[in-house]
Chain A
Amino acid sequence: MTARSLDINIRVNGEDASARVEARKTLVDFLRDDLSLTGTHIGCEHGVCGACTVRLDGAVVRGCLVLAVQCDCSTVETIEGISDSGAIADLQLAFRERNALQCGYCTPGMLIGAQELLARGGVPSRDAIREHLSGNYCRCTGYQAIVDAIESVAQARAAI
């Protein structure tokens, strides 16, 4: 029994990669196992917990619900690239100052989700922040610190 493999060309965090991947391999497994981008985490592998959140051609997706072969000719951004770009430095600092992470396993997904919300502009209500994060599971914080951190960044960005 040989799994079928396909060639893909993909741009991840600004770097081009060509790889032969098994058709069944998920994007998150490809990122972690083939590209060593371990900042994207695996929590449930069925699309509920949000630990594997990445950007695919600009849209926020679950890395466990997308196959790597679907990403041929696509652009993917992971926490490593988004972090290095400096685009979420204020969010990262707020998370740190507010202790909005404990074990940190959900944090890359939370940050990418939060940035998606904040990119819409304005200052979302706390309820709107909670609603937006309702697909990202955090077992440690109880969420309040995360909401606080995101709210403070929204206010700070709106003030600029």
Chain B
Amino acid sequence: MKIAEDQPSGLSALDRPNSYIGRSVPRPNLARLTQGRGQYVSDVVLPRMTHAAFLRSPHAHAHIKAIDTAAAKKAPGVVAVVAGAELAKVITPWVGVLTHLKGIKSAPQHAIAVDRACWQGEAVCAVVAKSRALAEDACALIEVAYEVLPAVTDPETALDKATPVIHPALGDNLTFERALTAGDPDKAFAESDAIAEATFMFGRHTGVTNEPRAIVADWNPGEERLTVYQGTQAPHMMQNLFAKHLELEEHQVRVITKDVGGSFGIKVHTYADEMATVALAKLLSRPVKFVADRFESFVSDIHARDHRVKGKIGVKKDGTITAFEIDDLTGIGPYSVYPRTSGIEANQVVNLVGGPYACPNYRARARVVFQNKNVMCQYRAVGHPIATAVTEGLVELAAAKIGMDPAGLRRRNLIADNAYPATAASGIKFEGLSHHASLDKILKMMDYQALRGEQAKARERGVHRGIGLASFVEVTNPSAAFYGVGGAKISAQDGATLRLDATGAVFVHSGVTEQGQGAESVLAQCVASSFGVNIERVRVITGDTDNTPYGGGTWASRAAGIGGEAAWQAGKALRGNVLAAAGAMLQADPKTLDIRAGIVVDADSGRERLPLEEIARVIYFRPDTLPPGFQAEFVVTRHYVPRAWPFAFTNGVQASYLEVDIRTGAVKLLRHWCVEDCGTVINPQLVDEQIRGGIVQGIGGALYEHCRYDENGQMLNANLMDYLVPMAGEMPDIDIGHVVTPTADSELGAKGAGEAGTCGAPACIMNALNDALRPLGAAPLVEMPFTPERVLRALGKV
């Protein structure tokens, strides 16, 4: 077993004595999770708790003429049967738009459909009963009279005049459109020696969190407070939204997030059925629990990635890339998802295509259209897998066209490592990246030349292997530029409140949340290092809007870079306050003192003066012995928000080595590599595991995962038998390396690491596949997922 070395890595300049920065410290949560002692929302049971089940529309688009609930109301154990109009008296509808996405529009969405269902799976009626099984029994007794309406399912024709408009008040089916031109793409294409074009298709897929979405809402009329246990990535955002739409004050709402069984962006949105659950609790004045089952997860958890991108690249004979051009079309379901909108993924595609390369000529158009399918919104690495696959797919097509090695073509065009700060053609700004160092490193790790030799030898034996690369940029540590400037009440800032307890241990209350990525461990490392205690003496509390600083939560790879910096700064502040107390007790200048491993020492010599326990004892229990006028402050709060850059871009490169069975079309993944630059690495093991997990999630999208719909808007494979996810047997071992370019925006210098794996994996799988099949005369594979059938079609065998 390769257990990561737990030693200071020397990666960081933050070398305080007993620093935990750069060390693979095991996470404190893991022991109880391995013992079955987790507390997921699915596990929460409250007194008088009831269970909600939803009757969902079997039609993609239908007018609801009548709902007969009489029989359901009489069913055993039923507490209430509530349809959309009745619930709308308790909870107001919402519209998922943001002002910085100019022109984006959507229609009011209700917690339960009123008059009309707009996708197969939209809830049309709720049953609350004493058990989930009884609630489902009663659902089966509800009679709904539907008038089936035409379903808009194909984005290609969504804007045609002949296509019905899903929301007539909006005028058309266009949600959002963005066009961008930089430099002179027409001239650049005209001056190119070769042009490569392809139409890339991305299969709609979804997060499949192992624990489905889960919520328990408890309205207590005695104290006029709503307590919501929710598996969410953004508790304060949800607090705001529950209050707003139930017409409560924010302080009347408490959101508690315990263990979360996977999130990946799935659990950062407003779901109609979860809003309905909260409204039902308010209506009934007793706790209501809703846990999505797997079948309803598939038709109600957000989907993502359903994009069609026409791409074009120009290149000179010497390998210089002259221009990129894309046209992106994506269907996002009948509503833009609230509050982050469903325009962000296409917007990111426009921002990110061509991002790694020094190419000033770029034309892009993205159109986002409504359709009668389940909603799409932000999912791990939002837009990046698409932009990276388009960019890197085009780069390798261009390399093949001019007969240049794809690694060499990249080396010729990647932005030079000494050229920062730099601005991409799309306008996104890079503080400092390391594309060339990363490429050099991965080629060395994979022994690129030797691997090419091995590939050639295998081909002589009739074994067809491919090598694919993908360079990428990844947005992390977002400032208010992501959502706040558009009017969403989603905090860009995060905070940490530290409290020294009476035995010298430290409590950390943070606004970021833990869904398994290790945020709590990283926060503990930051505080233990900057304050000066052993990490066992640090206890982290997250996921409770009553008891943590107001913050954004965990998404867009922000927990470590933003929450970690706040914790780091809070640790320094608490150290200052404790040293002030120690100075008063020791009659010493606090500047001459430090805290190391829980003991106040002379900073110069390291001579031990007082343990924290003794200082805490005096401050809490014998303050009468302190000098007159001295007041210790052993609770401090510090906040952090990136200000110098709108985002901390990271970069990296991935490589895939795979084998294609040309008789069956099956793809076997042999090896996978990633070199990633997320700035300061706080915990190498956690960073590597984020990357590995992310890569496998990206491989899922490339090879297996696809929410398949028919032309009537019926999802055909809404179960785990027919929707394929990556399992252990098919996944490769993944080697990971790092280049470290810290951000100067924070003292820690950490950027995000949670999404880079997902960002680059589909692109390099695609490139490796095409590298394997190109000598066989196969048509380029550009439609994900790359199923055996599609591989055989590319080979002309079916």
Contacts and interface: CB of A to CB of B under 8 A. Distances in A.
Contact of B1 (A103, A139, A149): A149
A87 to B, nearest CB: 12
Given A99-B685, A142-B696, A142-B734, A38 B293 contact: no
Contacts of A141: 689, 692-693, 696
Contacts of B757: 142
Given A24-B133, A49-B210, A104 B38 contact: yes
A16 B462 CA distance: 61
Interface stretch (A55-63, A65-73, A129-137): A129-137
Nearest to A40: B36
B518 A131 contact: no
B790 interface: no
B516 interface: yes
Nearest to B686: A99
A142 B261 contact: no
B121 to A, nearest CB: 17
Contact of B35 (A33, A43, A79, A148): A79
Contact of A103 (B26, B208, B262): B262
A32 B628 CA distance: 58
Interface string A80-113: 1001000000001011111101111111100100
B42 interface: yes
Most buried by A among B24, B36, B262, B696: B36
Interface stretch (B403-411, B530-538, B707-715, B725-733): B725-733
B31 interface: yes
Interface string B246-285: 0000000000000111111000000000000000000000
Interface in B1-39: 1-3, 24, 26-27, 29-31, 33-39
Interface in A5-34: 22, 24-25, 32-33
B211 interface: yes
B136 to A, nearest CB: 11
A46 B76 CA distance: 26
Contact of B33 (A49, A104, A139): A104
A116 interface: no
Contacts of B689: 99, 102, 141-142, 145
A22 B36 CA distance: 25
Interface residues of B, number: 65
A118 interface: no
Most buried by B among A37, A103, A149: A103
B192 interface: no
Contacts of A94: 1
A75 interface: no
Chain A interface extent, by class: 35 or more
B660 to A, nearest CB: 19
Given A38-B43, A92-B35, A139 B728 contact: no
B635 interface: no
B36 A98 contact: no
A101 B210 contact: no
Given A41-B211, A44-B294, A49-B720, A99 B30 contact: yes
A102 B559 CA distance: 15
Interface in B421-457: none
Most buried by A among B34, B720, B721, B727: B34
Nearest to B30: A96
A42 interface: yes
A67 B207 CA distance: 29
B36 A38 contact: yes
A92 B294 contact: no
A142 B262 contact: no
Given A38-B43, A39-B35, A139 B209 contact: yes
A143 B720 contact: no
Contacts of B76: 1-2
Given A41-B261, A99-B689, A142-B696, A80 B720 contact: no
Contact of A39 (B1, B29, B36): B36
A138 B210 contact: yes
B30 A101 contact: yes
B210 A43 contact: yes
B657 to A, nearest CB: 16
B64 interface: no
A56 to B, nearest CB: 17
B75 interface: yes
Contact of B210 (A36, A129, A130, A139): A139
Interface in A120-160: 126, 129-131, 133-149, 151-152, 155
Most buried by B among A45, A106, A139, A141: A139
Contact of A142 (B27, B35, B259, B693): B693
Contacts of A148: 1-3
A145 B263 CA distance: 19
A99 B34 contact: no
Given A2-B76, A139-B697, A140-B262, A22 B516 contact: no
Given A46-B720, A145-B692, A103 B133 contact: no
A97 B26 contact: yes
B262 A80 contact: no
Most buried by A among B291, B515, B697, B727: B727
Contact of B734 (A46, A129, A138, A144): A144
Contacts of B263: 103
B692 A139 contact: no
Most buried by A among B31, B210, B516: B210
A48 B209 contact: no
A46 B35 contact: no
B723 to A, nearest CB: 10
A144 B731 contact: yes
B734 A96 contact: no
B1 A137 contact: no
Given A38-B36, A92-B31, A92-B35, A142 B695 contact: yes
Contacts of A155: 1
B729 A101 contact: no
A51 interface: yes
Given A45-B294, A94-B1, A101-B516, A139 B262 contact: yes
B536 to A, nearest CB: 14
Contacts of B24: 99
Contact of A133 (B34, B721, B728): B728
A61 B5 CA distance: 37
Contacts of A96: 26-27, 30-31, 34
Nearest to B293: A45
A137 B36 contact: no
Nearest to A84: B35
B719 interface: yes
Contacts of B733: 126, 144, 147
Contact of B133 (A22, A107, A108): A22
Given A92-B34, A130-B729, A104 B29 contact: yes
A154 B454 CA distance: 32
A103 B31 contact: no
Interface string B671-703: 000000000000001100100111111000000
A107 B34 contact: yes
Contacts of A126: 733
B783 interface: no
Contact of A102 (B36, B693, B726): B693
Given A83-B36, A102-B516, A97 B3 contact: yes
Contact of A99 (B31, B39, B518, B696): B518
Contacts of B43: 32, 38
A142 to B, nearest CB: 3
Contacts of A32: 43
Interface string B199-215: 00000000111111000
Question: What 5 pairs across the A-B complex have the smallest Cβ distances?
Answer: A39-B36, A152-B1, A104-B33, A103-B516, A102-B516
5 contacts: A80-B37, A104-B29, A104-B516, A137-B208, A142-B692
Given A41-B42, A46-B294, 5 more contacts: A2-B76, A44-B294, A137-B720, A139-B693, A142-B696
